[in-house]
Amino acid sequence: MKRLPITLTVLSLAAIALLGVVSCQKEKTEEKPIVQQDPETERALERISEFKNKVKDHRNNSLARSSETISLEDALWNIENVFNATYSQPEIRCSETSEFTFSLYLAIDTDGNVLLSDLFDLYDQAVVEARYAYSNSGFTNKVFRYMTIETEGLNEHEARLVFKGRTGERNETPWQPYQDTCLYFGPFGTDDNYHYDYGKCDGTGVDGADEMLTYHVGHYIASRLTTPPVGMRAVYINTIDIILYGCVYTNDLFFRTNTNATCIDFNNMNRLYNTEKALVTETLPCDPQSDVYGMTPIGIFVYPEHRANYDFIAHNNRVTYSWRVIADLNVIGEVEDLLIDQNTN
């Protein structure tokens, strides 16, 4: 499995994290802030807005088949980023999340290009598939967090596109991350001793340390996403997943060579909470040598390492990062509810 190479235009978006500077210059009759964007950031937002408008025009005249083509790489950029700009809300805290996956096929020519008409049809098909999965996610107060696209089975005639979306149960409970009950400050109290993979150390419950760290570190990540100024909202571009292995980040994630010592006491739960959130939100995004330099974490999934032939037990992290851009609502529009088909209104 691999993602398509990133174009120079997309690579230049690496500067986005250093941009999007908001100038809150207030006038007597106008309080809307002025946003100073880098040219590449502006172009990314223009591409999203332009593609959204073309999709709408195609829906209104679906019989008109254009011969215009674009590269497969640009096609995937448009689908993923327009979809997330339209429906995703990764900044909303969730009590739990789940992932869905589906595949679609897109015809390509011998030059690796796709017809725009085919691309518009595929985008609408992806919306339908994602809406179905989202509506059947089992959550009550649903949140659509984000979706990524990867290519598999690419050949000279078509590309198999794998869509992975993450949904969640909205958490309305106020988040209180710190309790002064431990040597390491954190959300875990003296009774919060968990096996690294399943349940509490006293034999109760089913949520292990992996689920609890997913929950609390995930809440911390959401709490860092500041509210944009009035008349603006955040847009998340070029979303990617990376895997952090406990056997590599032994000082930051759970890792033990004693495979029988599966219980993590409350104090070490708080230590892991602090080291894990620092690694994900500060160390990697601030490291020019990392694959996510300048990016913003928007989701995390902690899972145990279970391979029997290993002489250790550990936690791995699948962390989702994105370029976070503050955009004018007049340019990008409001977030839409994936469950509502806007074309029927």
**In sequence order, which residues have a C-beta less than 8 Å from that of residue 193 and are 6 or more positions away?**
200, 201, 202, 263, 264, 265, 266, 269
Q: What is the pLDDT of residue 42?
A: 85
Q: What is the pLDDT of residue 8?
A: 32
Helix axis angle for 116-135 and 72-87, nearest 10°, is 40
Q: What is the pTM of this model?
A: 0.76
Would the pLDDT of 211 be above 70? yes
Residue linked to tokens 């995004």: 285
Give CA angle at 81 (77, 86), nearest 5°.
150
Give CA angle at 313 (308, 316), nearest 5°.
105
Mean predicted confidence (pLDDT) in 248-265: 92
Q: What is the pLDDT of residue 21?
A: 33
* pLDDT per position as a tens digit, 16-44: 333 333 332 333 334 555 555 677 888 89
Contact status, residue 321 vs residue 292, Cβ threshold 8 Å: yes
* 3-state class (DSSP) for residue 149: strand
Q: Of 135-144, 271-280, 303-312, where does mean pLDDT reach its minimum?
A: 303-312
In which band, very low, low, confident or very high, does the pLDDT at 345 lie, cut at 50, 70 and 90? Answer: low
Gap between the Cα atoms of 72 and 68, Å rounded: 13
Would the pLDDT of 267 be above 60? yes
Gap between the Cα atoms of 126 and 49, Å rounded: 18
Token output for 1: 């499995």
CB burial of residue 329 (10 Å; 0-12, 13-18, 19+): middle
Top pLDDT among 344 and 99 is at: 99
